[in-house]
Amino acid sequence: MARSALLNVMVQAAMKAGKSLARDFGEVQNLQVSVKGPGDFVSQADLKAEKIVYDELMKSRPTYGFLGEESQEIKGTDGAHRWIVDPLDGTTNFLHGIPQFAVSIALERDGEIVAGVIFNPATDELFTAEKGGGAFLNDRRIRVAARRVLSDCVIGCGMPHLGRGNHGKFLVELRHVMGEVSGVRRFGAAALDLAYVAAGRIDGFWEVGLSPWDIAAGLILIREAGGFTSTLKGGTDMLDDGTVVAGNELIQKQLLEVTNRPVPSR
86 assigned binding-site residue: yes
In angstroms, the CA 182 to CA 177 distance is: 10
Which residues touch 119 (CB under 8 Å, ≥6 apart)? 11, 14, 15, 17, 18, 102, 103, 125, 126, 127
The verdict on whether residue 55 carries a ligand-binding annotation is no
**88 to 93, 100, 247: CA distances (angstroms):** 10, 10, 24
Q: Look up residue 151 and give its DSSP letter.
A: G
Per the annotation, does 89 bind a ligand? yes
Residue 157 in contact with residue 174, Cβ under 8 Å? yes
* Cβ count within 10 A of residue 82: 24
Look at strands 102-109 and 112-120 and give their pairing: antiparallel
Of all helices (H) and strands (E), which one includes residue 154?
A: strand 154-157
In the annotated binding site, the residues are 69, 86, 88-89, 214
Please give the annotated binding residues for Mg(2+), written as ranges. Answer: 69, 86, 88-89, 214
